[in-house]
């Protein structure tokens, strides 16, 4: 796991008091993951502006540096630039841990910022470390990347980053966007050979969702033959999360972790796990720990 307490400075409540994206959520998550036997803790590094530019426009990066960008959900101040690029650097370090240092699994709890666009902060996300991480992995030689995003919300920034790129598969499972942020994307009619949205309509049972979703994953992951799998492991779809209107329980996250881990093992590729959403802090920490443990046991 990539962690240092400096990552708790990615905290939007510093700019907007009461904001749910607070440093303590990642601290609780990393404390929980650190309890798993056999987990090494590696320090993060800062992402350079040139690395942020793997996805973002330099004008936008420099606006964040001046504290000028931001939207209604994502307040930005000058003081957030370094924390935001540290959280991206933690993802880059996780990619290095798998592709250079030989770890099978690497985790950045303080990552998974899938809503950020190339020129805009959106949905609590300043820089899109999922997209930047995938581009970085390609530069390190992992040509084909499979990104699976099971956060409650559609991975819209990530889909946008790779929509025209056949070497990166983007798969997002999320609450149906007719009833959930980002509302304007995440529908099935956006699907093509390397982009798959699986929107979940509220009211369906966890068992039904597991039966429908889980078998699809190996059917998509295996034939794509990725060199690396990146998971945005947001748990804000859990029924105990204040953001959720779908009825996911612990079992969904366990089953999906098992199947993705098995695919990675069979393909002989590593996995980078990125935190994403989760706003019932103690439950989020418990679920992230269970997910990481499941990957470690199955790979």
User: Which phi and psi angles does 198 have, rounded to 5°?
Assistant: -120, 90
List the structure tokens of 21: 């994206």
Interface region with Zn ion, contact rule CB under 5 A, candidates 20-28, 131-139, 201-209, 270-278: 270-278
Q: Does 238 bind Zn ion (CB under 5 A)?
A: no
Nearest residue (CB) to Zn ion, 67 versus 182: 182
Q: Tokens 């009211």 sit at which residue?
A: 203
DSSP, res 125: B
Q: Distance (Å, rounded) from C-alpha 133 to C-alpha 66?
A: 24
153 tagged catalytic: no
Q: Does 241 bind Zn ion (CB under 5 A)?
A: no
Catalytic, out of 56, 115, 174, 238? 115
CB of 37 to Zn ion, least distance (A): 29
User: Which phi and psi angles does 120 have, rounded to 5°?
Assistant: -150, 140
Q: Does 234 bind Zn ion (CB under 5 A)?
A: yes
Which of 277, 289, 290, 295 touches Zn ion (CB under 5 A)? 277
Nearest residue (CB) to Zn ion, 133 versus 234: 234
Nearest residue (CB) to Zn ion, 19 versus 222: 19
Q: Determine the 3-state secondary structure of 244 from DSSP.
A: coil
Q: How many residues does the chain have?
A: 299
Which of 51, 129, 236, 255 touches Zn ion (CB under 5 A)? 236
Cβ atoms 242, 207 nearer than 8 A: no
Q: Does 152 bind Zn ion (CB under 5 A)?
A: yes
Q: Write out the DSSP string of 161-172.
A: HHTT-TTEEEEE
Which of 151, 156, 241, 286 touches Zn ion (CB under 5 A)? 151
Q: Does 153 bind Zn ion (CB under 5 A)?
A: yes
Interface region with Zn ion, contact rule CB under 5 A, candidates 42-50, 124-132, 198-206, 228-236: 228-236
Q: Tokens 């699994």 sit at which residue?
A: 105
Cβ atoms 113, 275 nearer than 8 A: no
Nearest residue (CB) to Zn ion, 54 versus 113: 113
List Cβ neighbours of 46 (8 Å cut-off, separation of 6 or more).
82, 85, 86, 89
What amino acid positions are annotated as catalytic residues? 115
Residues that bind Zn ion (CB under 5 A): 151-153, 234, 236, 277
């Amino acid at each position: 796991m990539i962690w240092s307490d400096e990552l708790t400075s990615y905290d939007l409540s510093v700019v907007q008091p009461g904001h749910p994206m607070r440093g303590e959520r990642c601290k609780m998550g990393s404390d929980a993951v650190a309890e798993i036997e056999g987990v090494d803790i590696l320090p993060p590094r800062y992402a350079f502006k040139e690395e942020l530019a793997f996805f973002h426009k330099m004008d936008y990066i420099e606006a964040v540096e001046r504290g000028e960008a931001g939207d209604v959900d994502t307040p930005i101040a000058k003081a957030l630039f370094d924390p935001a690029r540290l959280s991206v650097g933690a993802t880059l370090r996780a990619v290095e841990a798998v592709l250079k240092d030989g770890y099978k699994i690497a985790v950045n709890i303080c990552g998974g910022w899938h809503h950020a666009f190339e020129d805009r902060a959106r949905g609590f996300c300043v820089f899109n470390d999922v997209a930047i991480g995938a581009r970085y992995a390609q530069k390190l030689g992992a040509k084909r990347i499979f990104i699976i995003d099971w956060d409650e919300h559609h991975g819209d920034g990530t889909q946008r980053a790779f929509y025209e790129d056949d070497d990166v598969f983007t798969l997002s499972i999320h609450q149906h966007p007719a009833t959930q942020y980002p509302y304007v994307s995440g529908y099935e009619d956006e699907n093509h050979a390397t982009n798959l949205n699986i929107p979940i309509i509220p009211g369906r049972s966890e068992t039904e969702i597991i039966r429908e979703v889980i078998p699809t994953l190996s059917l998509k992951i295996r034939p794509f033959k990725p060199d690396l799998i990146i998971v945005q492991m947001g748990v804000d779809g859990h029924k105990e999360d204040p953001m959720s209107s779908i009825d996911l329980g612990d079992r969904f996250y366990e089953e999906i972790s098992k199947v993705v881990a098995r695919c990675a093992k069979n393909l002989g590729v590593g996995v980078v796990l990125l935190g994403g959403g989760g706003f019932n802090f103690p439950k989020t920490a418990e679920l992230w720990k269970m997910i990481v443990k499941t990957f470690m046991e199955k790979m």
